Amino acid sequence: MLGINITAPDFELHATPDQKFSLSELRGKNVIIAFYPADWSPVCGDQMSLYNEMHHYFSKYNAELLGISVDGKWCHSAFREARKLHFTLLADFEPKGAVAKKYGVYNEKEGRSERALFVLDDEGTIRWSYLSPVGINPGADGILDALKMITQKDNHGKVKTPG
Amino acid sequence: MAKLKPPVNGEDHIEGSFQAPVIFVEYGDFQCPYCGAAYPVIKQIQKKFKDQLGFVFRHFPLAESHPYAQIAAVASEAAALQGKFWPMHDLIYENQSRLSPKTLLTMAESLKLDLKKFQKDIQDASLIEKVETSFESGIDSGVNGTPSFYINGVKYEGSYDLPSLSHAIEKAIAGHKEISH
């Protein structure tokens, strides 16, 4: 799993069946990347539904949420619609799990990503990461703590990233 | 392990005493079917442990999934202003399948609330804010779904059937005795 204080590797994935999205488009914003094992499985559903409620809180910290799984773009669009999700879901579908592999959170045996969270600052540097046991919904307290830390440091004008 | 933030305080609704050896906190959503399923179990728990247990309810409405969760939470706070938080809380869960803005009003009526005041209060920004503050404290406390429970401030990760919950609460009571002796 990638550690902190390094630049998050860029990627480009399908956000909708006819639209691609790359991480670098979000430069200037804090970014939460939530890798999750699969659409539709009950725990994931809860995790994504929870994050869906938090739109308001994330935007308070100038943060955008991206959900990534190996599910295909059509699957994602059905899932988004069913759960009324307001954030972007990206399909790490072909080559399968390539982005999860870049971030060191791919589970080869199961053929899916782990349940992992990364919080990036507005320059694209990874500032916090967390690998959750796969069956456990990690909640959002860690994400908010990380966002608070990032924005506090910014406000105090301190150096954001060593090196 | 996730801890309750902020700890139980005077802003909270409690059934039982703040001094009880076990303070049992639920973050719940009035329209969440799992909270609905937990409701009778908690009643049994309260019956079993009596004054050994203080039960606190905090709002965690998943408004995107449950369109009436937020208004129900605010309605319970409006009832609280007339001293009827818990009767409203109970009525909502007992009639969860019929929950709507209209039935909330019927419930308020059956509790003999001052309806004019109730209807005014459910639009009150400060009550809406109170529900939002509760939601935020849930996030800070590591709530990852509803219902989420805390026993003496520590998140309870077990299942919420009667035997599992009873066991965890007995353990907490035993722990409390050890400390106070």
Lowest-pLDDT range, A7-21, A133-147, B78-92?
Answer: A133-147
Which positions in chain B touch A139 (Cβ < 8 Å)? 2, 139, 142-144
- Interface residues of A toward B, Cβ cutoff 8 Å, are 46-47, 49-50, 52-54, 57, 83-84, 86, 136-141, 144
Q: What is the pLDDT of residue B131?
A: 97
Res A160 pLDDT > 70: no
User: What residue numbers bound the domain in which A43 lies?
Assistant: 25-155
DSSP at B124: -
How many Cα atoms occupy the beta-carbon half-sphere of B172 within 13 Å? 22
Facing residue for A139 by CB, picked from B65, B136, B143: B143
Domain definitions of chain B by residue range: 16-180
Q: What is the pLDDT of residue A45?
A: 58
Of the candidates B92, B62, B95, B56, the one whose C-alpha atom is nearest the C-alpha of residue B75 is B92
pLDDT band, very low/low/confident/very high, at A43 (cuts 50, 70, 90): low
Kindly state whether residue A147 falls inside one of the protein's structural domains: yes
Q: What is the pLDDT of residue A163?
A: 39
Q: How many CB contacts within 8 angstroms connect chain A with chain B? A: 42
- The answer to whether B136 contacts chain A (CB < 8 Å) is yes
- Mean per-residue pLDDT, A4-30: 96
Domains in chain A, number: 1
* B4: nearest CA partner in chain A: A141
How many Cα atoms occupy the beta-carbon half-sphere of A16 within 13 Å? 7
pLDDT band, very low/low/confident/very high, at B10 (cuts 50, 70, 90): very high
Mean residue pLDDT of chain B comes to: 95
Kindly state whether residue A4 falls inside one of the protein's structural domains: no
Using DSSP's 3-state secondary structure scheme, residue A20 falls into strand
Q: What is the pLDDT of residue B169?
A: 97
Q: What is the pLDDT of residue B178?
A: 75
Using DSSP's 3-state secondary structure scheme, residue A6 falls into coil
Q: pTM for the full model?
A: 0.87
Lowest-pLDDT range, A4-13, A33-42, A66-75, B18-27?
Answer: A33-42
Res B180 pLDDT > 70: no
CATH number of domain containing A133 = 3.40.30.10
Q: pLDDT above 70 covers what percent of chain A?
A: 91
Cβ–Cβ below 8 Å for B145 and A57: no
Q: What is the pLDDT of residue A137?
A: 86
Q: Which of A44, A48, A66, A147 is catalytic?
A: A44
Chain A: give the shortest CA distance to residue B140, in Å. 5
pLDDT band, very low/low/confident/very high, at B1 (cuts 50, 70, 90): low
Cβ–Cβ below 8 Å for B145 and A52: no
Q: Which of B1, B60, B139, B148 to mutate to test the interface with A (most CBs of A within 10 A)?
A: B139
Which positions in chain B touch A136 (Cβ < 8 Å)? 144
Residues A44-79 have pLDDT tens digits of 557 898 999 998 889 999 999 999 999 999 999 999
* A49: nearest CA partner in chain B: B65
What is the rounded CA–CA span in Å between residue B59 and residue B64? 15
- Mean per-residue pLDDT, B56-61: 97
Q: What is the pLDDT of residue A156?
A: 58
Residues B134-174 have pLDDT tens digits of 999 999 999 998 999 999 999 999 999 999 999 999 999 99
Cβ–Cβ below 8 Å for B142 and A139: yes
pLDDT band, very low/low/confident/very high, at A136 (cuts 50, 70, 90): confident
Q: What is the CATH number of domain B16-180?
A: 3.40.30.10
Facing residue for B144 by CB, picked from A57, A137, A144: A137
Which positions in chain A touch B2 (Cβ < 8 Å)? 139, 141
Q: What is the pLDDT of residue B78?
A: 98
Facing residue for B139 by CB, picked from A86, A137, A140: A140
Res B24 pLDDT > 80: yes
Of the candidates A123, A105, A135, A130, the one whose C-alpha atom is nearest the C-alpha of residue A160 is A123
Q: Is the ipTM of this complex over 0.90?
A: no
Is A44 in the active site?
Answer: yes
Q: What is the pLDDT of residue A44?
A: 59
Kindly state whether residue A13 falls inside one of the protein's structural domains: no
Would you mind telling me the total number of residues written for chain B in this entry?
Answer: 181
Contact A139, B155 (CB under 8 A): no
- Mean per-residue pLDDT, B64-71: 93
Contact B146, B60 (CB under 8 A): yes
Cβ–Cβ below 8 Å for A137 and B63: no
- Mean per-residue pLDDT, B15-38: 96
Using DSSP's 3-state secondary structure scheme, residue B17 falls into coil
